[in-house]
Structure 1
């Protein structure tokens, strides 16, 4: 439900290395992880949350003993029957956000939307149970619905510490919650849309003002050195602060060695048989340590697959939920690699990743309806030789290329046969 939450391990790292004043003001609370951690570890601190999103404002009110009034309209009008106290209203908002995943006009989305609507009391009851578990024993000392710049001012006026993870891309919240925001009437706060390009200027200003702060960002600033780096994924997260011990934390990835037959690329023939097998995260980490570039902290995905040709390991690919755009119909291929550079085997792996049988497995597991696969090639070249001819070039950026492919309706064996005919010889 929440977007862009600070990783729990990073929160622990921050709180272990900075000095907090008696009053702590959180900007862009999101899922309230930071507030929860401070209240658990430092119960004497006064903690004040802040956000502008509908769900976060509802939760912020709940955690301060208030209730957010909402009224649903349009396709969400039936949710009005669920309104009541703070827990009931917040749970109804959670359902609205769930329904937004199935706002599309295709048969799959319509069926899921209608199913939830037919069973609203049951879904609402489940949401209330989850919310009560979340809020059990957890309160904060205040919540401000509005621009985080005012939260910074409040921290300065009351000699407090600011902790914040501002939006990482401009207009992200507005795009993600567009459907919900147009179907719910509530006392929405006014705020300025944050441009992450201004993060360094904000940090510099807080330093000049002598403000106690910790600003978390996914960007390495040009003129400001971070105090903390958390390498929990393939993209490090940095913390900038006025006063903190330096700290580097890199999550260790557990690996599970397993036996496999090494591919003999020259042994592949037109009669070879291809199989696709599921791997767990630890098994995939074992392969990544062998076949991917060293020194990169590779990000874990949601599902991992191995490609076998005649029982020999030919490669693997990893899927992750799409970060932007339509997350119901698009899926992101986080990584794909082959175990041999011979015979253009590297093309076979992404071709198979787009096969209907693989995508159907993902759809069943995550109750989504993937129609296309996309990925990124980090290169300064005008094209990626691996994806050229098998994926469509969707975007060319500074140092990267985005490629996409519609789901292939062929079986894995048919895709292998196409690859062998076009590329193997």
Structure 2
């Protein structure tokens, strides 16, 4: 979280209240700006913000805001073949190139069919990626904020001897930038920032020096007993690491934030392995996050196919309030008629033909309306890819139509029905008993 500068909303709210006593005439020096979450908030409140990072991604955002330009050359012939098709007159172009590489780098090795599928799709739809991103930049007010300056280098050089308030949410694991931006470093030639690797697990001495020598606000998802004197708050989560607030600003307040039950994602209950369906069970669907799909995918899907990009969102399929399966959706792989189902899987149970039930339910009126509501587009049906050397997939056979066959891959699609979930379940249940 910290290494791309994404300070969560609760921590942002605490920071804004803490700085409200400082006055907007003060300069704020942000270390590790990342995607400029904090910079944007503080600039909007009237503070003079001086930003910093070592990633090319952040540097190009700063270039757009400060009307500067970084020399950049792509040395990868495959990426270059995509970029050469893009217009050259946009001030956003270089940033979009880096975003495209970051988005596709995990598929670039093409070590399995799933990686190859997404890699080829992104290469084919490079123009669409560019146009969609540019439209978002031009109409969404993405860069509608100010910064006074940007330091492209080590955050300690930026904030140690500054003449203002220092804010830091440093990299949360050692070498974070290197892992995330390795492909960017390989693909692009540019004048790189110089910096030392920062180990946030052993940062107490560095943080103590910053707190003792100036006005500092430091967030960390490590709790350091040595800094207890400066600890003024904590943001507590049930599903991820707590964030501690350390500050040398004068304040009589202490801050404590804990997710209320209403704002937490409820923990889904999975059906037991010996669950058996009866004719009068209640079948429902529930919209879930891509992170949740990603989590359960690694538990219930085969290791051969669970390497994938995160979906846009997902659907959980429930029987009597407990989950028996999931499906995830990816607009980028879709066309105007069919929404792409990037994953569909059921939990381990003693129930026969459960996968068949799930793919039948995907054609229901409820799923159709949910997809229309989410994407604001009336898809006529769904499609999916199956990676197999067999001529057909027994899972989809009889429910979906085989619309494309390639070496090692089958594409199945089907239009939505006019049936509700309950009706589809009854059909499946009658078939199951035969």
| TM-score bracket relative to the smaller structure | 0.5 to 0.7
- What TM-score do you get using the length of structure 2 for normalisation? 0.60
Alignment of 1:17-416 (within 5 A): 17-18=18-19, 19-20=21-22, 22-41=26-45, 43=46, 45-74=47-76, 75-81=78-84, 82=86, 83-105=88-110, 106-132=112-138, 133-155=140-162, 159-209=163-213, 211-225=214-228, 226-234=231-239, 235-243=241-249, 244=251, 245-254=253-262, 278-280=285-287, 302-303=291-292, 328-329=307-308, 358=326, 361-362=327-328
Query: Using the alignment, how far apart are the partners of 1:252 and 1:371 within structure 2?
Result: 31
Query: Using the alignment, how far apart are the partners of 1:11 and 1:152 within structure 2?
Result: 19
Shift of 1:224: 1.2
- What TM-score do you get using the length of structure 1 for normalisation? 0.62
Query: Using the alignment, how far apart are the partners of 2:73 and 2:32 within structure 1?
Result: 24
Whether the 8 Å CA contact 1:279–1:304 is kept in 2: the answer is no
Q: Residues 7 and 270 (structure 1 numbering): CA distance in 2 closer, same or farther, change over 3 Å?
A: closer
Query: Using the alignment, how far apart are the partners of 2:282 and 2:5 within structure 1?
Result: 36
SS in 2 for 1:248: strand
1:22-48 per-residue CA deviation (whole Å, 9 max, x = no partner) reads 11110000110111111112x1x2101
Shift of 1:126: 1.3
Q: Residues 111 and 330 (structure 1 numbering): CA distance in 2 closer, same or farther, change over 3 Å?
A: closer
Shift of 1:231: 1.8
SS in 2 for 1:101: helix
Query: Using the alignment, how far apart are the partners of 2:146 and 2:244 within structure 1?
Result: 28
Query: Using the alignment, how far apart are the partners of 1:77 and 1:192 within structure 2?
Result: 31
Shift of 1:278: 4.3
Q: Residues 301 and 275 (structure 1 numbering): CA distance in 2 closer, same or farther, change over 3 Å?
A: farther
Whether the 8 Å CA contact 1:72–1:78 is kept in 2: the answer is no
1:359-399 per-residue CA deviation (whole Å, 9 max, x = no partner) reads xx2365897978999xxxxxxxxxxxxxxxxxxxxxxxxxx
Whether the 8 Å CA contact 1:167–1:196 is kept in 2: the answer is yes
Query: Using the alignment, how far apart are the partners of 2:186 and 2:73 within structure 1?
Result: 11
Unaligned runs of 5+ in 2: 300-304, 311-321, 334-340, 347-392, 396-434
Whether the 8 Å CA contact 2:114–2:308 is kept in 1: the answer is no
